[in-house]
């Protein structure tokens, strides 16, 4: 019985201490980040060039070190030659929903974070005039990410990191079906405002 009481008191003290340590940080945050992306696999036999993209994310911290996040992202990759012709763009756009764990490095203004989430995205194929020539429709994929967050003061932070996205969809072009397994790593830099 004494052991249970001792463990209960220790747990209450631990939760209180971690909550007090984080109470100065606001619960909500808005993040905007830009990224440079590098494919890890060909897209249905198509070699893609380095891509560019961005994400807009809303965060809500519901535990001292854990947040839920959701948002919208866009990534564009160009291909010199592809199954759809030459000078073709492949754009992945869609929604993100996941969990984030963030923990400070001691008492410094720097924290590390890891994220894991679901994607609900589609891939559009566009010709060099910007016309959509095929669209996979939305489907599920996943995202994992990590990095550091550096406090700039007054509830502003800078968040450099890496992210991996994976999405598999099918598309039809000129009567043929193509399996698009789109996987890429992004080096990203975000700015976060907490409120």
Q: Determine the pLDDT at residue 9.
A: 58
Q: Report how far residue 105's alpha carbon sits from residue 110's, in angstroms, rounded to the nearest whole number.
A: 6
Tokens of 90: 């492949």
Q: Determine the pLDDT at residue 25.
A: 76
Specify whether the CB–CB gap between 189 and 37 falls below 8 A: no
CB within 8 Å of 84: residues ≥ 6 apart = 125, 127, 133, 134, 173
Going by C-alpha positions, the residue among 181, 190, 100 that lies closest to residue 150 is 190
What are the pLDDT tens digits along the chain (195 aa)?
556 655 555 444 444 444 444 456 799 999 999 999 999 999 998 999 999 999 999 999 999 999 999 999 999 999 999 999 999 999 999 999 999 999 999 999 999 999 999 999 999 999 988 899 999 999 999 999 999 999 999 999 999 999 999 999 999 988 899 999 999 999 999 999 999
Domain coordinates in residue numbering, the chain: 27-194
Q: Report how far residue 109's alpha carbon sits from residue 91's, in angstroms, rounded to the nearest whole number.
A: 36
Q: Determine the pLDDT at residue 71.
A: 98
Q: Determine the pLDDT at residue 18.
A: 42
Q: Determine the pLDDT at residue 3.
A: 60
CB within 8 Å of 55: residues ≥ 6 apart = 31, 32, 33, 35, 71, 72, 73, 74, 96, 188, 190
Helix ranges (DSSP H) in the chain: 2-22
Q: Determine the pLDDT at residue 5.
A: 53
CATH code of the region 27-194 = 2.40.160.20
């Amino acid at each position: 019985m004494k052991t249970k009481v001792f463990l209960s008191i220790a747990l209450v003290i631990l939760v209180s201490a971690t909550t007090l340590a984080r109470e100065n940080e606001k619960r909500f945050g808005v993040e905007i980040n830009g990224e440079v992306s590098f494919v890890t696999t060909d897209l249905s036999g198509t070699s893609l060039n380095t891509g560019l993209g961005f994400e807009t994310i809303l965060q809500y911290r519901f535990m001292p070190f854990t947040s839920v996040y959701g948002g919208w992202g866009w990534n564009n990759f160009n291909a010199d030659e592809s199954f759809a012709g030459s000078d073709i763009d492949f754009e992945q756009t869609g929604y993100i929903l996941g969990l984030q764990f963030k923990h400070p490095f001691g008492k410094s203004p720097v924290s590390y974070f890891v994220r894991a989430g679901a994607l609900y995205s589609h891939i559009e194929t566009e010709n060099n005039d910007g016309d959509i020539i095929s669209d996979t429709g939305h489907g599920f994929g996943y995202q994992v990410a990590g990095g550091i967050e550096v406090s700039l003061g007054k509830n502003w932070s800078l968040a450099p990191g890496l992210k991996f996205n994976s999405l598999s969809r099918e598309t039809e072009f000129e009567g043929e079906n193509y399996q698009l397994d789109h996987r890429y790593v992004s080096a990203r830099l975000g700015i976060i405002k907490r409120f």
